[in-house]
Amino acid sequence: MMNPRNAYGEKLIELGKKHSNLVVLDADLSKSTKTIMFAKKYPKRFFEMGIAEANMISAAAGFASCGKIAFASTFAVFATGRVYDQIRMDVAYSRANVKIFATHGGISVGKDGASHQMIEDIALMRVLPNMTVLAPSDATQTGKIVELMAETEGPMYARVGRANAPIIYEKEYVNSIELGRGMIVEDGSDITLIACGTMVDPVMDAQKRLAKQGIHARVIDMHTIKPLDKKLVIKCAKETGAIITAEEHSIIGGLGSAVAETIAENNLSVKFKRMGIKDVFCESGDPKDLLEKYGLNENHIVKNVKNLLKD
Amino acid sequence: MERYDERAINKLEVTAVKIRKHIIEMLYKAGSGHPGGSLSAVDAIVALYFAHMTHNPKKPSDPNRDRFILSKGHAAPALYSVLAESGYFSVNELKNLREINCMLQGHPARLYTPGIEASTGSLGHGLSFANGVALAGKLDEKKYNVYVMLGDGETDEGQIWEAASSASNYKLDNLTAFIDRNFLQIDGNTEEVMRLESVRDRWESFGWHVIEIDGHDMEQILEALHEADNHKKTPSLIILNTVKGKGVSFMENNVDFHGVPPNEMEYNLAMGELDALQKKLEASN
């Protein structure tokens, strides 16, 4: 187990050494987002912006206009919804080299409740022209994604969850992580499970359980939601004939929608189901209980696979 | 008249009239846009580009350039005219304002137009953007200064005060903001729409050095800029007391010309007035 947030903090330090033009901004959450690790190592290049997220995003764009790689971090709910207009104008429309790295995405934030459970961020960022949208799954992938964000020009948004996450990728897989390329984590021919971020791990657990019951699911880690790896989606649709998407996000506008759009526009006839938050605000509670109540754990995945294949 | 040569001031005044003529011409041709706030902000922008800033129209990305950010993006015609007259692009482009396939968008767009630093038009962003530019300048130990033009109504926006805080917190003495204090916003007088006074007290309480001048007096503008550049440890705010629609009699202090272009008759009248003013200024030189 390792927290993807720590992977972010560690990678920032590494990148800070490599790129003298990398700056980091935070909005009074550096201990949680782990930008504090960079702040301690490179205090001159860390900018505490206080509880003023709009100012942080526009200022990050100002930095970018001076040739800086500007990382800006806070919780996903404040990093997107609260500052949508600033991201739209100063980052996306201006194609600024700003990297918004958000933590505490999804409902597994838990007890803080719906105010802090961001389930619309991927949708909000996905509709912005020029924006790359990322949701890495484990610490290894997060580290690599952060590196690719820093070293690829353009506006980008990435979100991770709050909790620790099991390691999915050993270090030797790092070089197979590319922006815009979904990763086949497990192969199978009966159905494809396409997940991102915090849902990759439960999908893998479900895959193992299904395998014991004779259902062989393919698992795709779709860390890049935009630009979507359409080729891979089409290939999986053709080869397995059934797709379930899983994300800790609204079923509207996120990974599930992106996959559905690809399927619909390519005349693919597949069985299809989106798993995500079903257009409701959730509530306070233990993350485990929330994921059970709102239908986003291993059990629900297994049940959905069986139901879909039964029809 | 001690520091500044009378002829140089006169030349700037003539340039400002030329810019006003461009604005009227552009807006008339475009059939939409914002005359009032473009005309009130002209003089300070002219002073910056033609007498104060270090900039090179042939190298708009020069890392050492002074930066100007038009946060009140609806005054784009004023900035576009100044950029064209400075040589960032051809004056012929001005006639295409707001047309399809044109570099001059209705509001400033960084990716479209040489010399435009920030995409604005949604109010309240520019001062924050300028914070980033000024912080980067400090980090890199660059000598450049950053100037921002805010509308007075624009300071209704909460983000302005986030930016006012951080500029003061980070002691951004390489940052100077103007407020185009013309007292009018779309729904009426600023004090009736959402009270701003005391503008000076507000900004001073945020830790800014405040200078207040006649925003149409070239010499006062240049002196204020000199003072602002030399003021250390805090950012500076120059309150430009201005007249919305300045230079065209029937547009002055007339809120109806906030976002409505002149019709043919108004266009002819306005150009007549500005031609006469230009001749008068040229004769006095």
Residue A195 structure tokens? 């997940």
B129 neighbourhood in chain A, CB within 8 Å: 58-59, 61-62, 65, 90
Contact by Cβ (8 Å): A38, A12? yes
CB atoms B166 and A52 under 8 Å: yes
Residue B198, preceding peptide bond in cis (omega within 30° of 0): yes
Whose tokens are 């906030």? That residue is B258
Same fold? A4-159, A180-310: yes
The separation between the first and the last C-alpha atoms of chain A, rounded to the nearest angstrom, is 37
Active-site annotation holds for A53: yes
B9 SS3 class: helix
Q: How far is CA B116 from CA A15, A263, B24, B28, B138, in A?
A: 30, 41, 21, 23, 21
Q: What is the rounded average pLDDT of the residues B68-86?
A: 98
DSSP string covering B217-245 = -HHHHHHHHHHHHH--SS-EEEEEE--TT
Which residue is closest to B157 within chain A, CA to CA?
A54
Q: Considering the domain boundaries, does residue B50 fall inside one?
A: yes
B135 neighbourhood in chain A, CB within 8 Å: 47, 59, 62-63
Residue B35, preceding peptide bond in cis (omega within 30° of 0): no
A54 neighbourhood in chain B, CB within 8 Å: 124-125, 128, 158-159, 162
Contact by Cβ (8 Å): A192, A241? no
Q: Considering the domain boundaries, does residue B17 fall inside one?
A: yes
B118 neighbourhood in chain A, CB within 8 Å: 61-62, 65, 90, 94
Contact by Cβ (8 Å): B26, B80? yes
Instruction: Kindly name the residue from A10, A53, A248, A298 that is annotated as catalytic.
Output: A53
Q: Considering the domain boundaries, does residue B1 fall inside one?
A: no
Nearest by CB: B166 against A49, A64, A66: A49
Q: Provide the strand spans (E) within chain B.
A: 67-70, 146-151, 175-181, 184-185, 188-189, 209-214, 236-241
* Res B258: pLDDT: 87
Q: Residue B229 — φ and ψ, nearest 5°?
A: -60, -35
CB atoms B165 and A23 under 8 Å: no
Q: ipTM of this complex > 0.95?
A: yes
**What is the spatial distance between Cα A58 and Cα A40, in angstroms, rounded to a whole number?**
24
For residue range B130-168, list pLDDT tens digits in order: 999 999 999 999 999 999 999 999 999 999 999 999 999
B166 SS3 class: helix
CB atoms A62 and B137 under 8 Å: no
Q: Considering the domain boundaries, does residue B228 fall inside one?
A: yes
**What is the spatial distance between Cα A233 and Cα B44, in angstroms, rounded to a whole number?**
56
Whose tokens are 């030189």? That residue is B285
For residue range A244-298, list pLDDT tens digits in order: 999 999 999 999 999 999 999 999 999 999 999 999 999 999 999 999 999 999 9
Architecture of domain A4-159: 3-Layer(aba) Sandwich (3.40)
A93 neighbourhood in chain B, CB within 8 Å: 109-111, 119
CB atoms B136 and A47 under 8 Å: no
Q: In what order do the strands lie in the sheet with A98-103?
A: A46-48, A22-26, A69-75, A98-103, A156-159, A132-134, A224-226
C-alpha B107: how far from its chain's center? 13
Read off the pTM: 0.97
CATH of the domain at B48: 3.40.50.970
> Chain B: which residues have CB within 8 Å of chain A?
63, 109-111, 117-122, 124-126, 128-137, 139-140, 158-159, 162-163, 165-166, 169-170
> Chain A: which residues have CB within 8 Å of chain B?
23, 44-45, 47, 49-50, 52, 54-68, 70, 85-86, 88-90, 93-95
pLDDT band at B2 (very low <50, low <70, confident <90, very high): low
Nearest-neighbour CA in chain B from A211: distance (Å) = 52
**What is the spatial distance between Cα A101 and Cα B46, in angstroms, rounded to a whole number?**
40
* Res A243: pLDDT: 98
Could you tell me the maximum CA-CA distance found in chain A, to the nearest angstrom?
A: 60
pLDDT at A154 over 80: yes
Orientation of helix B6-30 relative to helix B264-283, angle to 10°: 170
CA dihedral A150, A154, A160, A162 (to 10 degrees): 80
Q: What is the rounded average pLDDT of the residues B24-28?
A: 97
Q: Considering the domain boundaries, does residue B192 fall inside one?
A: yes
CB atoms B131 and A61 under 8 Å: no
Single-letter amino acid, residue B45? I
* Res B1: pLDDT: 43
When divided into structural domains, chain B yields a total of: 1
Percent of chain A beyond pLDDT 70? 100
A108 SS3 class: helix
**What is the spatial distance between Cα B262 and Cα B246, in angstroms, rounded to a whole number?**
14
Residue ranges making up the domain that contains B210: 6-283
**What is the spatial distance between Cα A122 and Cα A156, in angstroms, rounded to a whole number?**
11
Whose tokens are 């979507």? That residue is A228
For residue range A65-106, list pLDDT tens digits in order: 999 999 999 999 999 999 999 999 999 999 999 999 999 999
Whose tokens are 């295409």? That residue is B96
CATH code assigned to A180-310: 3.40.50.920
Residue A1 structure tokens? 């187990």
Domains of chain A, residue spans: 4-159, 180-310
Give helix then strand counts, H and E, for chain B: 9, 7
Please state, rounded to an integer, the average pLDDT across all residues of chain B: 96
pLDDT at A60 over 70: yes
Whose tokens are 């482009």? That residue is B93
Percent of chain A beyond pLDDT 90? 98
**What is the spatial distance between Cα A158 and Cα A11, in angstroms, rounded to a whole number?**
14
Please state, rounded to an integer, the average pLDDT across all residues of chain A: 97
Contact by Cβ (8 Å): A101, A133? no
